[in-house]
Chains A and B, each alone.
Chain A
């Protein structure tokens, strides 16, 4: 039988600490996921545009960046920043800083690819028509290419945001008390894995499903 008392009794710890990050420990799934998504996407826009730059000294580093971070596991990036950067800089970085930096750097590579593909999905004739009308490169990007590119990007962007949201559970390996880690802590005391992990699965699902619903509405509005 499900014993939901374990959820009720530990609800504050799971939600306030694990989900929101407002408890006594450094942590919080939303506190990490939201800025990681926003900053990762912003950095990704720059990387995506840089990959398409004509100047090789812009496009080549951007390409190397993407290939490199897509080629290594996220856990490894977290460990590097956790162990190596403090040694190099000779100053400690708190868990939150490590986790956020790792996610932004790692996810920006994926967001960059989505942005690049979105821009390239706009037919060449669109740019030619804009150019022929006398628009500058920046104007044709702003008024003609990006509005169409973003519409094409939405499904992949949402998928990536959902992946990132769930991947924040990896931050628990450096002691960041997110939802997954909070459930683990409670479970160590209560030994109620089924209830606890079912509960956090529901919480993750509510957020990811909401993201895909909002995106669906956004897509219809753009269409």
Chain B
């Protein structure tokens, strides 16, 4: 029996009158890498933003690491320290150096000493392969480097789950692989990951499972070899034909 770390139970979400998530039922196990794909506007970013409660849900239940996010009085900041997130637009803090970006939450939230946090941060910069950029400001880094710093910043809180919201969509093509390589390493190390991406090569190589969404619903779930070879739904086949032919 494996441990379920994320469980959506009949989750519904609206933005005003727009029904963006419809009756989502989905479970992610410890150590699993789940790639969420689908056309734009299908609700895939919203789906993973619900996992660390950046977006509230309006119906159903969402349980993350044993905590029900809709339970009154749930400590969301504490939960978020255990769920790392990487954004499409990096969102590094421009007024801080790379090292300060990574150290902020460990020092202010977990109460690490500056020396200890700095040691952790430098080790993480090794891991994302940019140890020499510690003293730089984000503005002086390439997009690929910035995104790797963002990954290191999230990892510094030692999360149990990592969420990636289109981490390579804002990158020039030649920088995509350096970010995907870091993510692949992370997956190989056993990190539980939910990744929204259009990088189907990454999905095929790294994901344990593909979740295909359309119009706010999970249309299909399958292991990657099955999904790419023989998607069951018309909508998934149509989506794949559009993105795999160019």
A and B interact: yes
Identify the A interface with B (CB < 8 A).
123, 125-126, 128-136, 139, 143-144, 147-148, 151
Q: Which B residues lie within 8 Å of A132 (CB)? A: 52, 54, 80, 83-85, 87, 154
B202 proximal to A (CB < 8 A): no
From known contacts A128-B54, A148-B95, A151-B95, infer whether A135 and B87 are also in contact, taking CB-CB under 8 Å: no
What residues on A are CB-neighbors of B105 within 8 Å?
A: 133-135
Measured CA separation A143–B108 after assembly (Å): 9
- Interface residue total, chain B, C-beta cutoff 8 A: 24
Rounded to whole Å, the gap between the CB of B111 and the closest CB of chain A is 12
A129 touches B109 (CB 8 A): no
- Taken together as a complex, chains A and B put the C-alpha atoms of A131 and B89 apart, in Å, by 15
Q: How far is the CA of A151 from the CA of B91 in the complex (A)?
A: 18
Q: With A and B bound together, what is the CA distance between A209 and B223 in angstroms? A: 68
* B28-68 contact mask (Cβ, 8 Å, vs A): 1 or 0: 00000000000000000000000010100000000000000
In Å, the complex CA distance between A134 and B109 comes to 7
Do B91 and A133 touch (CB < 8 A)?
no
Tell me how far the C-beta of A136 lies from the nearest C-beta in chain B, rounded to whole angstroms.
5
Across-interface contacts of B228 in A (CB, < 8 A): none
A34 → B minimal CB distance (Å): 29
* Pair B52/A139 contact, Cβ less than 8 Å: no
Which one of B54, B94, B104 lies within 8 Å of A131 (CB-CB)?
Answer: B54
Contact partners of B157 in chain A: CB under 8 A: 133-134
A135 and B80 alpha carbons, distance in the complex (Å): 9
B221 to chain A, nearest CB (A): 25
Nearest Cβ on chain A to B49's Cβ, whole angstroms: 8
